[in-house]
Structure 1
Amino acid sequence: MLRLTAALPIVALMALAARAVAQPSPQLEELNALWADISDEDRADLVLVPALAAMDAPPAAARTVVDAAMILPGDPEWGSALAWAGAQPQQDALDAFKSITERRTRYTFAQPYGRAAGDEAVRAGLYVDLGEPELIANAQSGWIAGLERLGALAQIEATRLASEGAGADGADLVLRWIRLARMFADRETFAEKRAALRWMRFGAERLRDLAYLYPDSIDELEMRQLIRSLNDREIMLDRVLLPRAERLAAQELLAITFVERGGPNPETFGPTMARMQSRGRPLRLFAQAARWRQIGQQHGDFFATRDRIEAVFNDWRLRWSLDPRDVVNESPTDYDRLDRGRYMLIATVVPDLGELFDERFALRVELGGTRLALAVRGYRTATGAWPEPIFAVRPRFIPEIPVDPWDPEEKEPYGYIIPMHDGPTDERATPTPHTLRVVSEADAGEGPAMPTPQEIAAWMSRGGPFPTSSQMLSQIARSIPDSVTPQLQRRARQQLLRALTQSGGVSGEIPWWVRRLAEADPNDPRSDDEIVADAALRIQFAPAFKAALLRLAEQESPTLDEIRTGIANVVLGLLASGSASVSAAGGLFGVPSFERVYDDSEFILYSRGPDETDNRAAAVGPGGDDILIWPPLFSLVREQAGG
């Protein structure tokens, strides 16, 4: 009874908070006004909603785009995948998909956010749910899961077509998937744009995968058309803008939960933030309400918070328009410098949009590499030989040779090797094959092992013991490369500045951070501990982590809390980037490191990667130095996994 009585004031405050946002806010109206001028005839979402809603659930082995692309004819899972793809609901979905992805069509994902999407979309779950009451900060897109199913269907159908000799038709489906993802990249939330950029990136690798699997199924003319469809004028990556929803979400909460010319409103700040943080987990509501009441007592006032919101987003907007190597982009962002103790509303609502900068850059690497790889493959099909030098593919297959985005001078093309042709210049030397080592996360680096993922997960989730700073630094020092590149130094400065300007107890805040990130994707079946452990497994070999610890090592006496915070920030960066199977250098699906030896029956194409050094594709993959373009890493991993 005492518990119920104590809870009544909190429940009453929740009701006040709910009434305060019962009607669409000016910020939500502004967000949805962005789509107001799009006619129904041009709306891709109106075509897709009924088709996707009618689809059957995919087989377990083909639930995602990447999983579906892994399956080949002859695999045990192929029969069920093919039967699912061939059923009428899926064929109807393919027809709808094709109708909106013709090359010259002008469809747009113009669905409003929240319940304004319409009853049919809400019933199908194919809309962006803003919760109850509706808040932009609550946005959870049902489209990401829906389009993942559609993408899986497209991959299975593409494999079927290519395996039957219709390689161009299979590649066309993947190209349409890239177009659909590019369309989705114009949506306005961080999660939607991130998903779209990743889908496009994998789509580029998948095109190479089909050309690798079925090299004779695409003729010269078809290959030239495919390459042309991937050029900058078709993809228009430069027109992808930063999302606007998160800025409006922060402004919306500021208007709802603050007293103008004052600070947080005690009647709405704690209850509103608690409701948002407890969404889907009502038992956490009371603890969160108490926590946010305490945060409100230390938070910046209305004008200070408003100014910080504007500064953070204006800074990102400026950087987005600049060259990635511009001196401005080498300095910490306003978001990096944010005092998270004083501006917890911003830290909670606004993700690090800097991640989209990395995704866009990685996509550029993949697109340029894919055009060049397909040109080389097409040249081989047409002439029976590899181009020597690589410029021989121009202009027959490609008008200009793409520059490797990771070349520090931005002048050199991607690395190109014809095994047994490129090597020692000594005429007496015997040509040797090229050994390519695919390095998985688990085998990267040398020296004593770092703490296990379980130890890191235990520390993060329960504040348990951790090695001393001297132990940590000595272990890390043995696995840091001899030279630290400017790229890594820049990343280290950004990571450490964020870590060292952060206030509050590290061990007390991490569990909440982890839970928040775990809730970001309601369809993620992993527990919080599993998510942390997965990130911890990768953190040991993340270049940003090694560089961050090297910077700490340069201090005379780094404290344990500084080391812990540095680790936490890199882990959180990995968590925020999700658990995509294919990273910027490709994902390995748990496959251990392996080697491939190539003679001149194959060619090697690669990007220099984040260290900006040409290592001749000696080590590639998540733990390697260079980014492998050809042979496609995805194809090699499939081969290795299949034995």
Structure 2
Amino acid sequence: MRTSSCHWSPLSLTTLAVAATVSIVAPAQRAFAADDYLSKANALYNDVKSNKSADKILFPVLAKIENPPSVLVDAKRSAMLLSTMSDFEKVKPWVDAKPQRDVIDAVKTVTSEEDWKKCFQISQPYGADAVEKIDPELVINKMYTELGEPALLAQAEFLYMKKLDSLELLMHAEANRLVGEGKTADAMDQLVRLCWIGRMMAQREFQTEKSWGLNCMTLALMHLRDIAYRDSRLEQPVLKAEEVRSIVRRLKANAMLGIDRITPPAGNRIAAEQLVAQLMTPGAGPDPERWGPIMARIRSKNRPLRMFSESAKWDGIRGLHANTSETAKRVAGVFDDFALRWGLVPFDPRLKTPSDYAQLDRGKFALVDAMVADLDELAGQRNILTVEAAGTRMSLAAYAFILAQRRQPPDLASTRPAIIDTNDIDPMDPGRKRFLGYVIPPTGKDLQIVVFPEFLGVRTPSFQVLVPSTSYIVYSVGPDGVDNQGRRFTQTVPDDKGDYLIWPPVLSLSRQNLMDSGSLK
């Protein structure tokens, strides 16, 4: 097996707009080239065994999922909404309905194998033609990736991901429902399984798919800690030490989670190579008939009324663009450099040098710019996921210690080996030697901290929190690489006075802050 969200509207209006601009008839050799690159992209999933294709089990069921209640505006909201809140009354009937129960059962099936060498993968090929050969119903229900006509990877519309958004909402809501019923361990199990769905998507080959997967995993880990933290504040915790220890073991860095096995998106590179082959003439430059209309269609996405202005814009760029040979070399250079940087740890000296993309002449190489612009976000998302995963393991290990010993661990190292095999190094530590920060409030005294909350890139106003003397703080030094002693938490924003808070979970603290202000009921 390889160790490897935006949802656009269908292409019908876009296709009509292009047809009104110019009629595109691909020469036979270019049609062959398009099929060749598409085959190359789909071949990336050839090593997934048929009986391990998660999409064959999950997608037919997911196609029937009902639209979520309007109160679930996004996954963060679903994680925030407790079963005791008034808005959850609108959510519970949806969670309990048969189409949604079928999805939850399907998720359980495709996440049943937790050996990463044998686990299920989402291996659906790209394009309606390939999917139609497998299951025509998936195309009818828009559970596939649309590539348009002619089939170009660069104009991929991941139609199936709209239903995945609903799945994510469902799993967070189901976890909160289970907590409300006193089934806290089952709730945590649901979130681990959601994390594995995200891991499958992170294994896919396009930036859009990987980004969804990374964000899904990050929020699942946040919610996992949130549930454990809420349990820790109960007079009589529901969770048992062994149940929490089991979660810690399932999240081992070198097991199913395997963040270091997530590779750069090969699909974006193949898509860029396909565009060069399709839109540029060997020995010359952009094809005058194909360049403007197709680039306009790619860049207009779900805004067909912009097609005409975009086509004129790209026709203007054509005369300034590099020739075919230069463009092909620059595609290779930019993606090779991105792959090199992907394999480096934060604060590696090589990351201080400007990337090939940063030095790109965006006018001369507009095609390359169009295919690479969103990729830089992935590295940041992966770094945050790495911190969240390490922090989740260590903070849950500390909680398992408390449940077993009825006292706080004097340090995180005390959780080894009874609960955790290895203490995690802080992924944000420049020297890669320091463990995650750990603070116990003074005996009998609460400790005040300041939190600048952030969820997946969205910041909200800061607030102060008193950490009870019976709890503890787990944190990373954050993106500035400086230990600020765990008092002020600025999360992902580089700051010379802020760290990255892991425990108490920002999700828990933010929910309580919103409840105190009356913004969440």
TM-score range, shorter chain: 0.7 to 0.9
- SS of residue paired to 1:299: coil
Partner residue of 1:629 out of 496, 499, 502: 502
Q: Does 1:177 align with 2:174?
A: no
- Measured against aligned partners, the alpha-carbon deviations of 1:509-536 in whole angstroms (never above 9, x if no partner) come to xxxxxxxxxxxxxxxxxxxxxxxxxxxx
Corresponding residue of 2:43: 33
Q: What is the match of residue 484 of structure 2?
A: 615
Task: Note the 1:385-534 alignment, pairs <5 A.
Answer: 385-421=407-443, 433-439=446-452
Q: Which residue of 2 aligns with 1:221?
A: 242
Equivalent residues of 1:17, 1:271 under 8 A apart? no
Matches within 5 A, 1:14-53: 14-16=23-25, 24-53=34-63
Gapped regions of structure 2 (runs ≥ 5): 1-16, 517-521
Secondary structure at the counterpart of residue 416 of structure 1: strand
Q: Secondary structure at the match of 2:474?
A: strand
Q: Residues 10 and 178 from structure 1, CA distance in 2 versus in 1: closer, same or farther, beyond 3 angstroms?
A: closer
For residues 279 and 207 of structure 1, do their structure 2 counterparts lie closer, same or farther at Cα, with a shift above 3 Å needed?
Answer: closer
SS state at 1:359 partner: helix
State whether residues 85 and 153 of structure 1, in contact with CA within 8 Å, keep that contact through their aligned partners in structure 2. yes
Shift of residue 440 of structure 1? 5.2
2:519 counterpart residue number: none
Q: Give, in whole Å, the separation in 2 of the partners of 1:156 and 1:411.
A: 38
Q: What is the distance in 2 between the residues matched to 1:255 and 1:14?
A: 19
Residue 233 of structure 1 is aligned with which of 237, 240, 254? 254
2:351 maps to what in 1? 329
Is 1:67–2:77 an aligned residue pair? yes
Q: What amino acid sits opposite 2:438 in the alignment?
A: Y
Return the offset for 1:12: 6.7
Q: Is the partner of 1:16 in helix, strand or coil?
A: coil
CA shift for structure 1 position 343: 0.4
| Number of residue-to-residue matches in the alignment | 484
Instruction: Tell me what 1:210 maps to.
Output: 227
1:139 matches 2:139: no
- In the alignment, which residue of structure 2 is the partner of 1:54? 64
Worse overlay, 46-55 or 294-303: 46-55
CA contact (8 A) 1:21 1:133 kept: no
Q: In 2, are the aligned partners of 1:419 and 1:600 still within 8 Å (CA)?
A: yes
**Which is further off, 127-136 or 258-267?**
127-136
Deviations for 1:117-142, whole angstroms, at most 9, x for unmatched residues?
22222222221222233211111212
What is the aligned partner in structure 1 of residue 99 from structure 2?
Answer: 89
1:548-587 superposed matches below 5 A: 581-583=455-457, 587=458
What is the CA distance between 1:192 and its match in structure 2?
Answer: 0.5
Shift of 1:37: 4.1
Q: 1:273 aligns with which of 295, 298, 312?
A: 295
Shift of 1:322: 3.1
How far apart are the structure 1 equivalents of 2:89 and 2:501? 31
- 8 Å contact from structure 2 (residues 24, 290) kept in 1: no
CA distance in 2, matches of 1:339, 1:367: 37
Kept in 1, the 8 Å contact 2:441–2:467? The answer is: yes
Secondary structure (helix, strand or coil) at the match of 2:107 reads: helix
2-structure distance, mates of 1:324, 1:621:
18
Contact 1:20–1:256 (CA under 8 A) maintained in structure 2:
no
Distance 1:636 1:94 in 2: 28
Contact 1:376/1:393 (<8 A) preserved:
yes
1:505 corresponds to? none
- Could you tell me how far apart the structure 2 residues matched to 1:237 and 1:370 are? 14
Contact 1:63/1:149, CA 8 A, preserved across alignment: no
- Deviation of 1:401 after TM superposition, in Å, equals 1.6
- Given the superposition, is the C-alpha separation of residues 593 and 281 from structure 1 closer, same or farther in structure 2, using an over 3 Å criterion? closer
Q: Match of 2:515?
A: 642
Secondary structure of 2:245's aligned partner: helix
Mapped contact 2:18–2:293 kept (Cα < 8 A): no
**AA aligned opposite 1:191:** T
What is the Cα deviation at residue 20 of structure 1?
8.5
Is 1:365 matched with 2:387? yes
Deviation of 1:40 (Å): 2.8
Shift of 1:432: 5.3
- Considering only aligned residues, what root-mean-square deviation do their CA atoms show, in Å? 2.3
Aligned mates of 2:468, 2:181 — CA distance in 1: 28
With normalisation by structure 1, the TM-score equals: 0.72
